[in-house]
Structure 1
Amino acid sequence: MTTGVVLNGNDSDNQIDATVRLAHEASEAGLRSAWFGQTVGVDSPQLAAIVGREVPGLQVGTSAIPVFGRHPLLVSSQAQTAQAATHGRYHLGLALGTKHLTETGFGIPFERPIARLREFLTALRQLTETGHADFHGELLTATTALPARVPGAEAGVPLLVAAMGPQALRASGELADGILPYLAGPRALAEHIVPAVTAAAEAAGRPAPRIVALVSGVVTDDAHAVREKATERLAFYEQIPSYARVIELSGGRRAADVAVIGDEARVAAEVQRYRDAGATEVVFSGTEIAGDRDRRRTWDLLGSLAG
C-alpha cells in the first residue's frame, strides 16, 4: 500500500525551498508520494514538477485544482509539463471547489458543478491522452488548432477527483482514474464512497478506481493538545456541506473527530482501518501542527507502513 503526505512549506521564508527540503525528508522516511494543495498562492503543478525533479524517488500530485475558473487546455498544459518534468510521476487532482470561494474569488456563478466536472474531465482526457481535443459541451469548449502534446509526457496523466457526494462519485467513476476523499473516515469510505465510485467505474467498463484517502493525522504523545489544534484548524470544513455530510457519515460531529491522532500503535491501527475500508493509498495531511519531532515520528511510521 502506498503512503504519502501533503507537504506544506507555507511558514517559511521561501516556500519552494522549504517544500523541497520537506520532500527530501519524506523520501528518506520511506514515504512514496508527496501531494500539494492548490491555493491562490503557489501553483501546485509547478511545485510538484520542481519537487519531482529534485526528489526522484517520490510520486507527486496535486490535491486539488478547482475546475471553476480554469480551462481544460490550460490545466492540460500544466499537467503534461509536470509529468514530463517528473518522467511520469505526476498525478493531477481536480475538485469542484466551493460556492463561496468560486463566487467571491473568481466572480463567477457556482452553477451546475457536476455538469462542469463531467465536461472538464471529458475534454481534459482527450488532451492528455491524444494531444488533441474537439469538445463542444454546454458549458465548455476545447479545441486544438495546434497539437497540445508536451514531448516527454506519457499519454494519459492520471486524473483524480476530490469527490465524496453521490453525483461527483458517479462522474469520477465513469470519467476519472480515482478519487481523493478528505475527512472521510473508514465508515464513510466502506459504506458509501468506495461502493459508489467502484460501481460507477464497473458500469462504465473502467478499471477499479484508485482511492487516495487524505487523512488529517499525526503521531504524538500529547493527543489532547494536538486534537485541540486540529479542532481549530479544521473547523472551516464544517461550514462546507459536502464535508459536513461526510464527517457525519464517518460517525463524527466535528471535523477533528475523524482526525487520526495518537501514538504509533493507534495511528498504525487507523491506517489499517482505512486500508480495510478500500483505500488504495493513504496520505496524511496536517502533520506539522504538532511540531517537527512529531512530524518526523509520523513520517517514519507511515514510511514503515508503505510496503
Structure 2
Amino acid sequence: MKIDTRLAWPDDGRQSVTDFAEAAREAEARGYRGSWSAESAHDPFLPLVAAAHTTSTLELGTAITVAFARTPMTLAYTAYDLQTLSRGRFLLGLGSQVRAHIERRFDMPWSRPAARMREYIEALRAIWAAWAHGERLDFRGDFYHHTLMTPFFSPPPSPFETPAVYLAAVGDQMTEVAGSVCDGLMPHPFTTMRYLRERTLPALERGLASSGRDLTKFSISVSALIATGSTEEHMAMAIRRVKQQIAFYGSTRLTTRCWSCTVGRTLGTN
C-alpha cells in the first residue's frame, strides 16, 4: 500500500504558490508517494504546477477535476502540459460531479453521465494520440466531436507517456467505465467495506474484463476524511472542513448509497 497526501488551499485563502511548492517538497521528503489537488473553491491544477518545480519523484494528481466542466480538448492540453512539466509524474483524476452543479454552476450539458464519461475519456486519448504520433484527429461520438487539429495547434511529441487517468465512481455504471477505459478508480470517501465488496468490486471487475484486464493491471486510490493539526486553531479548522465535506456529500442521494447499504441493514430499513 502506498500513502498519498493532499495539497489543499487554506480556509483563509492566504496560501501562495510558494507554500504549495514547499508543502510538496516536504511531502516528498517524508516519503509520501503522491500529492493530490481537489477542484472545489479553487483551480485544481495551479498547486500542481508549483509542486512540480520543487519535487522529482512525488506523483502529482487531481482528486478530482470536474470533467464535464470543460471540453475534452481543453483538458487534454492542460493534462499534456502538466505531464511534461512534472516529467511524467502527473495523474489525471476525473469525476462527473452532479447534475445541478454541471448545469447550474458550470452551465454545461448533462445527460447519460456514464456514457458521456466513457466517450470523454476516449476523446482525450484520441487527442493525445494525435499529438504523440501525428495521427489525424477524427473523433466522432454521441457527445463529442473533435475533427480539427493543425500543426500550429499541436504540441510537440512528449518524451513521457500520456497521463494515467483515474475516475471517481459511486454507481455501478460509472465504476464499469473506470474498469473499461481508465487506469485507476477513486471510490467515494463514504465507501464502506460492504459496499466495496458487494457493489464496487463486482462492477469494476466487469469493466476490467471488457478491456481484457484484471486488478493486477489497475490501481484503486481511496481517500479518507481526516482532521489533524499542529495547534488547537489548526485542529478546529480541520474539523470544520471535514464537517463541511460530510454535509455536502451527505446532501446528495448518489453518495449516500455508499453507506446506506450498511447503515440501512443495521437499522432494518434496507
Give the TM-score category using the shorter length. Answer: 0.7 to 0.9
Match of 2:83 in 1: 83
Residue from 213, 229, 237 that aligns with 2:249: 237
Distance 1:154 1:228, change over 3 A: closer
Separation (CA, whole Å) in 2 of partners of 1:54 and 1:157:
20
CA contact 2:96–2:117 (8 Å) conserved in 1: yes
Give the Å deviation of 1:47. Answer: 2.6
Match of 1:14 in 2: 15
User: Over residues 13-55 of structure 1, what are the superposed CA-to-partner deviations in whole Å (9 max), with x where a residue is unaligned?
Assistant: 234222222222222221110000023532x234323212212
Give the Å deviation of 1:85. Answer: 0.6
SS in structure 2 of the partner of residue 138 of structure 1 = coil
TM-score, structure 1 normalization: 0.73
Match of 2:175 in 1: 169
Q: Does 1:188 align with 2:200?
A: no
Which amino acid is 1:18 matched to? D
SS in structure 2 of the partner of residue 68 of structure 1 = helix
Give the Å deviation of 1:226. Answer: 9.5
Match of 2:219 in 1: 210
Distance 1:18 1:251, change over 3 A: farther
User: Over residues 132-178 of structure 1, what are the superposed CA-to-partner deviations in whole Å (9 max), with x where a residue is unaligned?
Assistant: 53111111111242254444352331011111210101111111111
Separation (CA, whole Å) in 1 of partners of 2:174 and 2:50:
30
Aligned residues: 251
Q: Which moved more, 1:159-168 or 1:129-138?
A: 129-138
Match of 1:60 in 2: 60
CA contact 2:195–2:261 (8 Å) conserved in 1: yes
Map 1:1-307 → 2, pairs under 5 A: 1-10=1-10, 11-39=12-40, 41-42=42-43, 44-131=44-131, 132=135, 133-146=137-150, 148-152=154-158, 154-183=160-189, 184-208=191-215, 209-218=218-227, 229=240, 230-249=242-261, 251=263
Structure 1 gaps of 5+ residues are: 254-307
User: Over residues 88-118 of structure 1, what are the superposed CA-to-partner deviations in whole Å (9 max), with x where a residue is unaligned?
Assistant: 1000011111112112212234222122111
> 1 or 2 for the larger relative contact order (CA 8 Å, sep ≥6)?
1
Give the Å deviation of 1:231. Answer: 3.6
CA contact 1:36–1:61 (8 Å) conserved in 2: yes
SS in structure 2 of the partner of residue 117 of structure 1 = helix
Separation (CA, whole Å) in 1 of partners of 2:169 and 2:159:
26
Separation (CA, whole Å) in 1 of partners of 2:244 and 2:41:
22
User: Over residues 178-206 of structure 1, what are the superposed CA-to-partner deviations in whole Å (9 max), with x where a residue is unaligned?
Assistant: 11112123332233212321231122213
Separation (CA, whole Å) in 1 of partners of 2:159 and 2:200:
31
Q: Which moved more, 1:146-155 or 1:99-108?
A: 146-155
Distance 1:144 1:154, change over 3 A: farther
CA contact 2:192–2:262 (8 Å) conserved in 1: yes
Separation (CA, whole Å) in 2 of partners of 1:89 and 1:135:
27
Which amino acid is 1:211 matched to? I
CA contact 2:227–2:239 (8 Å) conserved in 1: no
CA contact 1:181–1:212 (8 Å) conserved in 2: yes
Q: Which moved more, 1:67-76 or 1:200-209?
A: 200-209
Give the Å deviation of 1:218. Answer: 4.5
Separation (CA, whole Å) in 1 of partners of 2:156 and 2:94:
20
Match of 1:256 in 2: none
Separation (CA, whole Å) in 2 of partners of 1:62 and 1:50:
14
Q: Which moved more, 1:86-95 or 1:119-128?
A: 119-128
CA contact 1:84–1:150 (8 Å) conserved in 2: no
Separation (CA, whole Å) in 2 of partners of 1:206 and 1:29:
34
Separation (CA, whole Å) in 2 of partners of 1:182 and 1:6:
16
Separation (CA, whole Å) in 1 of partners of 2:79 and 2:108:
24
TM-score, structure 2 normalization: 0.82
Give me the CA root mean square deviation.
Answer: 2.8
CA contact 1:194–1:211 (8 Å) conserved in 2: no
Separation (CA, whole Å) in 1 of partners of 2:91 and 2:187:
15
Give the Å deviation of 1:251. Answer: 4.3
Q: Give me the identity figure in percent.
A: 25
